Each structure stands twice: as structure tokens, then as C-alpha cells.
A = this chain, B = another copy of it.
């Protein structure tokens, strides 16, 4: 197993594949001048103050002090490079790629009448219009699971689509279209089989007619709590509607479908410097395999790709897509600036301990999960995806916002790469967990599905891990349960609401 890895020939740094000791010799003739922790950067040459630090062939930042060959380079020794200027981006310069072809070209999913995307699960989902309903909806879901679910063996689960939006807000405030669109689209996720079940309080700002079309907004789909006789009446009405919807869902069956009916979301969280070497490139390869057969593949997390905006622009397939990209990145820039946010505040203490010195380095690793396919569409947060191919879904990088946004876009399952480790999961769709390091898989054997750490040790190639992941994606989409689904771990739905709360 090699001690270090250098990713691009222009790089001025290499990455330690394990904890290295002062005096060790790496990359031919580099003698370490100090101990270097796993995943951290080693200077490959003497450089003066102000010189660029290059990784992935990209300038991460500029040295704030002179550095000698063999020294440890971290966030204390460099200043972050500026973000690419949105006004000077060029689109379409990197769209002619040859994608690898997969051996498997079908999966077994649940079709939904009138929808392009098929589901990977058969779930009854109950949407709250407003936070006030959440306690009642949770109580009703517990009762339904205890008393009804077993009677419908073809239904996988009953979930509450709860959130803390809906009142104490102004539905007309700038930015409120994001949470409203997300709630509206969430209930149409293909895993819910096209069945609508909405619980309204009756006096909220976010009324059912703001979420449902005229033909959908009727007593067959909507229960208003203020019209029920007490909690007992609420429960009764919800149990009754649940039985009707469950009976319909019960008749759903999986069928052999082409990959063009599958939409997969990719996300990473708790990243480290290996994320961009192993797990994310492997995910990118899996994404390429999906896309080459017409599947939809989404990557996300605006603040974690912003510093690679030039690379995304180059991959936009047409001007309309490019314009949407710039619009979304620009909106987020302004949103953060309005709140006085430091863009380089994104990397967490854990990211930094994991060798990610700044947001540029994090972004380069993050983008790796998009593979090499052209970007055929850019989606606003929570917007429904309509095209096959690689899409950038412009969501928050916050894990618990990104997941629900991708669900609203229509994903049947999510792939989640992690370096430091997070137990994140969703109740609404299966989540496959990929570790970037062998140590994490060892530490969390019951949470990690696939270990990309074999790439660092040289035991497997990126393509091999990517193909393994691709196969697992199809297996899970077809019904196999990944680890966090087996354990029943799931996170709350969190919505990006840029507007103030009253």
C-alpha cells in the first residue's frame, strides 16, 4: 500500500494515506519534516509565501508563510482562493465525453401512473400543511403502523411528511417559494404511489389550496383537524383515509423497468480529504453508468460546488442549463451575503481534522461525485426533475435539507458518501452509505454499505468500487434494504426557508 497519493500532475501537495511519521520518505524523494495525520497534505516542494497550493490541479489557496518540502500544509498556512466570478464563466467546453456502459440495464420498480420516475418503495405518506398538525400526525402514524400496516403486506411503510413550516411565516415573503414548492413536490415522490393524504389544521397560512391543484384539493385527500370532533375524531378520520389509501397501494407490484425510469440522488456529509479521492469519484463512476442508460442522476449542495462553478459551467449542455446554474449560484451567494456568512465557514471542525483545509478543497472533492457526464439540467431546490441524465439540484449543503429536496425532485433512492461518518437516513427512500476510508467501515460495520477505502489501499480501482455501487443501487432500488433502512434510522425533513419567522 502506498503512503501517499498525488491526484493531478500539477499538484504541489500529496495526501497522506495513513498517519505518517517525521523522517519517512514519500513520493520518491520527499522526506517528512514533521508527523502528518492521515488524509492531510504534504508539501512536495519548497514554496515562498503567497505561492499557490495546488490539489486536483486547482488552486486551493495561497501560502501565508514560506513552506519547505516535506512540511504539513493545513488551513493555518494558507488563505482560501477566491470563488470563480459568475459573470465570467464559459459554458459547454467540456461536454463531449464517452460514458462507460453498464452490464445491467433494468431494475424492478413501482410505476406511478402519469409519472416519468418509478418508485423503489411502496409507502403511504401523510403530509402536514403546518407544524401545528405534527403531533397529531405522528400519533396517527404510530396507530396506523400498529393496527393497519400488517394488513397490507405489499406496503412497506407509513411515513409522516412533517416539517416546521406552514404558519408563523409569511407565504408571500421573498424566498418562501422554496419551502412551499418542496412540500408540494415531496408528496408526489414516486415512492408514495401517487396517493395524496394531506392534514391541514384549518387556520394556517399555508392552506391546502397552495399545495394541491383544484382537482386534488378535496375531502378524499385532505383532512382538516379543526373540523373533527376532538383528537378522537381526528384519529378516526385519519385511520379511515389511511385504509382507503393503503388498499390502493396494496395493489402495486414491482415490474422490470429500464434505467430511464430511475432517479438517484447523490449527497455527501461528514467529508474528509479522502472523499474526493475514493468515495466521491466511485459515486461519480456509478452516476456515469446510470446516466449512460438514461437514468436521472442528481448531485447537489450549492456551497460545496460553488468554488468549482467554472467546472460545472464547462459541463452544461446548453445555454438554458448554464443560465439556470448561474441563477441558482448567484441566488445562494446573495442569500449567504445577506446573512453575513463567511463562505469558508462551511468546512466543519471534522472536515478540517479530516484534512479538508478550506471550501475550495471541499468543493473539488464534492464535485467528484458528479462523474463526467454533461449536465443536462439544473433544478431549483425541491423542483421536480423531468429529464434523464446528470442534473445539478441546487439545494442547501445541509444534509437534512438536501435529502428532502432531492426527494421532492423525485428520487427513488439516495447514495450518501461519508468520511468522518454520519448515521443519516431517510424514512421516505432508502439511503446507501459509502465510506471514504477503511477505518470508518471497520468502526461502523452496521451502518456502512460499501467501503471505498480499497481505492486508497490500491486493492480496488475507482471503477471497480463504482461498479459495485452501481449494482447495489439497482439492487436497493429493486427492494434490497441497505443498512440504515434495516436499522430504521431516519432524519427529520428540514426545509430551506430563507424568509424570517414571525
Contacts and interface: CB of A to CB of B under 8 A. Distances in A.
A168 interface: yes
A52 interface: no
A185 interface: no
Nearest to A499: B339
Contacts of A421: 201-203, 225-226
Contacts of A270: 132, 201, 203
A276 interface: no
Interface string A163-207: 010011110111100000000000000000000000001111101
A345 B231 contact: no
A168 B345 CA distance: 9
A397 B170 CA distance: 12
A401 B501 contact: yes
A458 interface: no
A203 B273 CA distance: 14
A446 B500 contact: no
B349 A207 contact: yes
A168 to B, nearest CB: 3
Contacts of A396: 168, 501-502
A444 B225 CA distance: 10
A232 B486 CA distance: 13
Interface stretch (A86-94, A307-315, A350-358): A350-358
Q: Which of A164, A172, A353 has the most CB of B within 10 A?
A: A164
Contact of A230 (B164, B339, B443): B443
Contact of A424 (B135, B345, B401): B135
B498 A447 contact: no
A335 B136 CA distance: 32
A340 B467 CA distance: 49
Contacts of A234: 423
A446 B225 CA distance: 13
Interface string A350-394: 110110000000000000000000000000000000000000000
A342 interface: yes
Nearest to A272: B203
Given A202-B420, A303-B502, A350-B204, A168 B398 contact: yes
A445 interface: yes
Nearest to A270: B203
A346 interface: yes
A399 interface: yes
Contacts of A398: 131, 164, 167-169, 501-502
A425 B132 CA distance: 9
Task: Give chain A's interface residue range (CB within 8 Å of chain B).
Answer: 35 or more
Contacts of A498: 339, 500
A172 to B, nearest CB: 7
A209 to B, nearest CB: 10
Nearest to A401: B501
Q: Which of A338, A444, A498 has the most CB of B within 10 A?
A: A444
Contacts of A350: 201-204, 226
A400 interface: yes
Contacts of A397: 168, 502
Interface in A485-502: 487-492, 494, 496, 498-502
A172 B340 CA distance: 10
Contacts of A74: none
Interface in A390-414: 396-401
A167 B347 CA distance: 10
A134 B424 CA distance: 8
Name the 4 nearest CB pairs between A and B, nearest first: A203-B350, A168-B398, A170-B345, A339-B500
Interface of A: 131-136, 139, 162, 164, 167-170, 172-175, 201-205, 207, 225-226, 229-232, 234, 269-270, 303, 335-336, 338-342, 345-346, 348-351, 353-354, 396-401, 420-425, 443-447, 484, 487-492, 494, 496, 498-502
27 contacts: A131-B399, A131-B494, A132-B269, A132-B270, A132-B491, A134-B491, A135-B490, A139-B489, A164-B494, A167-B348, A168-B400, A170-B345, A172-B345, A173-B341, A201-B270, A201-B421, A203-B270, A230-B444, A230-B447, A232-B446, A234-B423, A303-B502, A339-B500, A341-B502, A398-B501, A492-B492, A496-B501
